[in-house]
Structure 1
């Protein structure tokens, strides 16, 4: 038995219309055509810091860039997609993601941006620790009415 790739005749009709009963198609490539992804994230708050975890498997730590500027934490990486011809080694589908990712997170004003952000990468998870200020900076300003 051979597998035949099926494509819907009118892909624009059902794009953007979510359905709870759709189970996904074994050969549907719509999820894998995008060049960038947004990795899932966990955030844990303690008295002294915010601990952030980003799930980004498949990257080396040298490919990942992290910065904190103007109240925005930015994590990104890019990787060249392997050029694989169809039906090489008997594959009918290859879903390993070699795309880039880009995640920007607005941090609260309680984060001390002058202190160093601790970053570690282990088993496909990027761990970031942002230190809190002892006293949150009050950025409000009273405006007088004339």
Structure 2
């Protein structure tokens, strides 16, 4: 199976799952947003954390799980935004109490927490059961998917 065939098959499967959960809205869509939040933070940490750094231990991940729990439970947006602010402050404060080399890791973790949490929260609030939110998210997906597909083919055509 070629690389393109594998990409197309996986894209179709993921698109069907994503569009189905988006259409349903409510708890299924909040679960999708929670999973995306976790994946965003995971990717952020892999890019930004030094390999040998123990840094803050599992504090950022634990804080993110608290946020994800609140998101899935459907807490009001004001509470979730306050929770994001608290998570960032706690991560920065704990990171600043570490060695100098770990302070920067704490700042990157705090930034990643904010980025991941606000990304997931934004999508969940945008969808939140109303028709205009559904249309906006479907438009967002269409734009992102079209640019990704175009970038893939243009990249292959120009050699990378």
Greater Rg by CA: 1
TM-score range, shorter chain: under 0.3
TM-score (norm 1): 0.27
TM-score (norm 2): 0.26
Higher helix share: 2
